[in-house]
Structure 1
Amino acid sequence: MFNKNGLALFSLVAALCGTAQAQLSDTEQKIVAAVQQRSPAALLLLEKAVRINSGTLNPQGVRAVGELFRAELDELGFQTRWIDMPPAMKRAGHLVASHEGGAGKRVLLLGHLDTVFEKTSTVPLWERRGDRVRGQGVNDMKGGDVILIEALRALKSVGALDPANVDVMLTGDEERAGKPLQVARADMVALAKRADYALSFEGSNKHQGVDTASIARRSSGGWVLRVKGKPAHSMGVFSNASGYGAIYETARILNAFREQVIEPSLTFNPGLVYGGTDVSYAEDTATASAFGKSNVIARDAEVLGDLRYLSPEQGERARQKMLGIVSNGNLPGTSASIRFTENYPPMPPTEAGQQLAARYSQASQDAGLGRIELLDPGLRGAGDVQFVAPYTVGIDGLGAQGRGAHTDEEDLEIASIERGTIRAALLIYRLTLLPAP
């Protein structure tokens, strides 16, 4: 059912949905009307949230956005609580909200309060540009947070929220997750274990003009390569006595990675390379320093890289190949070691995920908003939905549409708030209150 890039084939969608579009029920038409009536107010809520700087390392700002959204969820009848993280983690914590209905399916809705724009950012908080808005975190992902809340509000307005079982978790450290991850995501995992579905509201992408969602996302982890050589006068380089030095051995290893480890959906990027006679790295500022001379063979070299893969099996293959390259065939006079870390686990595609995507696409088509296709996982970064994927059926990309996420030009298409809210509200309604097709 999947191609070599891990993309779901939409023959299943056609089989599940049929060729004729189902009509919206009376209740669903009321849901759509409620969303459309609230569109101006939804934009105002988004502006309030975006005008608060909530860079991950600004805990006061993250909490302020959390309080803004908490008030909205309280008004909708949710039981809300703030989860503090240990002070050593230097993170604001998370907002959790729960709504207990009847005995139907339970959905977990995911968003995050933080952005990549810290307090020192010079990017405008909110800048209206016709039918678009530029701002800090406007599509990643405060636009998605607003869609999540407005979808619940539309359900509430027609009485469809009262019988529904819904949990919401808005994390305060998605952009720079606190360590240890087992603590930072423990509450999310607990919620996932009791959920039938998890819907994540990261930004929605278009691919070749068609709206997309994601049921597969690659891991996000890292590796540190450390290489040792013999410091000596450069006149002896390449000799058995002096060897090749740390920098040549580093180059050999990196080139061997490129030649021998490549496979579909797998990437490994050396983001920082430094070497010389003495080297050091400051993690808090992500800066390296090195001392060396052109006529001295390098003693030390280090490389910081990331590693992304689609399945645990692919990740293990990559690590074993990289370990083999590092440990074997070292140039004379050198040695090397490599250490791996994993931040976000992989989320491989599943048939259950395909079925959920099919229902999302059908809801969109029934509302006259067109089909939804699955995005190549190589075209997305990592996200919180990956922590819940082992325990429930997840889908991501239900948020707003924009451009330039994580850059000074991050913006949002205003109309995408209404589209996303309609789609999300219909999907939540169908998942919680209607039987699966």
Structure 2
Amino acid sequence: MSPFRSAAAGALLFALAAGHAPGQAWAAPRDLAEKRMVATVRAEHERNVKLLENLVKVNSGTMNFQGVEQVGRMMRAELEPLGFSVRWVSMERAGRAGHLIAEHKGNGRGKRMLLIGHLDTVFEPDSPFQGWKRDGEVAEGPGVGDDKGGMVVIVAALRAMQAAGTLKDADIVVVLTGDEESAGTPLSVSRGDLIAAGKASDVALDFEGLSRDAAGRDIGAIARRSANSWTLKARAASGHSSGVCMEGPGCGAVYELTRILDEFRRELPEPNLTYNVGLLLGGASASINDGETGGQATGKSNIIPAEAIAVGDIRTLSNEQEARVRARMQAIVARHLPKTEATLSFDESGYPPMAPTEGNKALLARLNAVNRTLDLPEMPQGDPASRGAGDISFVAFVDGLVGLGVAGEGSHAPGETADLKSLDVQAMRAALLMTRLSKEPRPR
């Protein structure tokens, strides 16, 4: 395709994505560098889609270490020509493949930016969902949106900045984790490098998928909830069922576990909180397997259960909410039925929350200023409950934005898709936003 035809095709795609009819005028940036960034993204649409195709065709399920490392090498090949110093950090100690960290030194004056994405997907090599399909401007494949599309947005935006001459002054660190879908433990190891990069940054930009509301509007996400699991164990005196809930044997472990779970349901509700019971076992004996994906129980209908176990998760919007809810759960557990006991424990290897801070709101305002420049609709603040947990939460101590990757449907399920028109729009947004942040004085 000639450069003229490529640019024309890109212009059509951008017009459609921005809500304009083909051929209708729209407000181009006045700044020459920003014009150049927009033009570069348009002209390189097919180049960027080809990179996405190549990434998707490599299986990089979290536990497919070779695949994760191969995708890391592919991303290294994109970032090094842009002037990034790239290194691979092995995560053998955490039982995972590793992370790619790329650093670009700018003029040392503007905001220091941390770009976050991930190399892995939920689709391991034994998944039947493999390969790449394209139907016009919709692509299908494992991880096409989560998060290989996001990584391509990063590359496309950085290329546009380089073409416009704005990348040279920008201080940027890119951290692409290899285990976002199943973090290695301990977290002090698997997220240590990400946290260190966050402490050396002023802004964190998360390139996971773009959210849209029911009307199809792009959403600005400034918060993510936590994801922490819990285990509830109940024990009780056993005996013949003819005496259940009588003074002698008591009600048994299953009734005690059920009491606790039902009181969770009735007493815990509050905004931005969810809690789920994912697995429950009870009987004369009960045990959960090591991966907490199942277990076994024994018993009979005429025996009062001596053991019961449940596992689940809670998701909160702030550390304060997390602490408050945990305390309320423990208080409920402590109201034991006669002749029973129960304990509640929390797995501390989960994801922390990212609260909707004033700094995050201000960052969304900057993004909406970019939208006005591009003649795109304003992005309203999204509901944190609409997103799962993510790596940016580990660096929530700096201002951050979530969802700068591509839009799509069916994340984490066979048939996952990406809207390729959104790739251009998101790359333009990111390039302009990062350029403007690079010109803002960093905090002293």
**What is the TM-score normalised by the length of structure 1?**
0.92
1:123 counterpart = 2:129: yes
Secondary structure of the residue aligned to 1:217 is coil
Aligned partner (choices 260, 271, 289) of residue 267 of structure 2: 260
Aligned partner (choices 328, 335, 339) of residue 333 of structure 1: 339
Q: State the alpha-carbon separation in 1 of the partners of residues 319 and 206 from structure 2.
A: 22
Aligned partner (choices 279, 283, 294) of residue 272 of structure 1: 279
Aligned partner (choices 354, 362, 366) of residue 359 of structure 1: 366
Q: State the alpha-carbon separation in 1 of the partners of residues 169 and 253 from structure 2.
A: 65
CA contact (8 A) 1:62 1:113 kept: yes
Q: State the alpha-carbon separation in 2 of the partners of residues 146 and 290 from structure 1.
A: 47
Aligned partner (choices 235, 238, 245) of residue 231 of structure 1: 238
Q: State the alpha-carbon separation in 2 of the partners of residues 46 and 85 from structure 1.
A: 25
Aligned partner (choices 198, 201, 205) of residue 207 of structure 2: 201
CA contact (8 A) 2:84 2:103 kept: yes
Deviates more, 1:380-389 or 1:78-87: 78-87
Equivalent residue number for residue 82 of structure 1? 88
- The alpha carbon displacement at 1:285 in A equals 6.8
1:316 counterpart = 2:323: yes
CA contact (8 A) 2:33 2:165 kept: no
Equivalent residue number for residue 53 of structure 1? 59
Paired amino acid for 2:91: M
1:114 counterpart = 2:120: yes
Equivalent residue number for residue 4 of structure 1? none
Q: State the alpha-carbon separation in 1 of the partners of residues 30 and 285 from structure 2.
A: 68
1:213 counterpart = 2:225: no
- The alpha carbon displacement at 1:369 in A equals 2.5
1:433 counterpart = 2:439: yes
Paired amino acid for 1:98: E
Equivalent residue number for residue 9 of structure 2? none
- Seen in structure 2, the aligned counterparts of structure 1 residues 38 and 306 have a Cα distance that, compared at 3 Å, is same
- The alpha carbon displacement at 1:86 in A equals 3.1
- The alpha carbon displacement at 1:411 in A equals 0.8
CA contact (8 A) 1:24 1:367 kept: no
Q: State the alpha-carbon separation in 1 of the partners of residues 285 and 191 from structure 2.
A: 38
Q: State the alpha-carbon separation in 2 of the partners of residues 75 and 143 from structure 1.
A: 20
- The alpha carbon displacement at 1:434 in A equals 4.9
CA contact (8 A) 2:28 2:35 kept: no
Secondary structure of the residue aligned to 2:436 is helix
Paired amino acid for 1:27: A
CA contact (8 A) 1:113 1:171 kept: yes
Paired amino acid for 2:121: T
Secondary structure of the residue aligned to 2:304 is coil
1:174 counterpart = 2:180: yes
Q: State the alpha-carbon separation in 2 of the partners of residues 23 and 415 from structure 1.
A: 19
Q: State the alpha-carbon separation in 1 of the partners of residues 290 and 409 from structure 2.
A: 30
Paired amino acid for 2:75: F
Secondary structure of the residue aligned to 1:219 is coil
Aligned partner (choices 237, 240, 247) of residue 254 of structure 2: 247
Aligned partner (choices 407, 410, 424) of residue 404 of structure 1: 410
CA contact (8 A) 2:233 2:308 kept: yes
Aligned partner (choices 410, 415, 420) of residue 421 of structure 2: 415
Secondary structure of the residue aligned to 1:349 is coil
Paired amino acid for 1:196: D
- The alpha carbon displacement at 1:334 in A equals 1.0
Aligned partner (choices 88, 96, 103) of residue 91 of structure 1: 96
Aligned partner (choices 286, 304, 307) of residue 297 of structure 1: 304
CA contact (8 A) 1:369 1:419 kept: no
Secondary structure of the residue aligned to 1:140 is coil
Aligned partner (choices 185, 192, 195) of residue 189 of structure 1: 195
Equivalent residue number for residue 7 of structure 2? none
1:105 counterpart = 2:100: no
Q: State the alpha-carbon separation in 1 of the partners of residues 322 and 347 from structure 2.
A: 11
Q: State the alpha-carbon separation in 2 of the partners of residues 398 and 350 from structure 1.
A: 18
Paired amino acid for 1:244: C
1:151 counterpart = 2:133: no
Paired amino acid for 1:347: M
Secondary structure of the residue aligned to 1:177 is coil
Deviation string 1:65-123 (CA, Å, 9 cap, x unpaired) is 01000110011110000001134x22011000001010222111000000111111001
Equivalent residue number for residue 376 of structure 2? 369
Equivalent residue number for residue 43 of structure 1? 49
Secondary structure of the residue aligned to 1:265 is coil
CA contact (8 A) 2:114 2:198 kept: yes
Paired amino acid for 1:54: S
Equivalent residue number for residue 73 of structure 1? 79
Q: State the alpha-carbon separation in 1 of the partners of residues 136 and 36 from structure 2.
A: 29
**What is the TM-score normalised by the length of structure 2?**
0.91
Identity %, equivalent residues? 45
Q: State the alpha-carbon separation in 2 of the partners of residues 226 and 409 from structure 1.
A: 38
Equivalent residue number for residue 8 of structure 1? none
Paired amino acid for 1:388: V
CA contact (8 A) 2:233 2:343 kept: yes
* Matched pairs, number: 413
- The alpha carbon displacement at 1:209 in A equals 2.4
Q: State the alpha-carbon separation in 2 of the partners of residues 153 and 312 from structure 1.
A: 38
Q: State the alpha-carbon separation in 2 of the partners of residues 130 and 302 from structure 1.
A: 50
- The alpha carbon displacement at 1:130 in A equals 3.1
Q: State the alpha-carbon separation in 2 of the partners of residues 299 and 387 from structure 1.
A: 40
Q: State the alpha-carbon separation in 2 of the partners of residues 365 and 344 from structure 1.
A: 34
- The alpha carbon displacement at 1:292 in A equals 1.3
- The alpha carbon displacement at 1:152 in A equals 0.4
- Seen in structure 2, the aligned counterparts of structure 1 residues 24 and 277 have a Cα distance that, compared at 3 Å, is farther
Q: State the alpha-carbon separation in 2 of the partners of residues 368 and 234 from structure 1.
A: 71
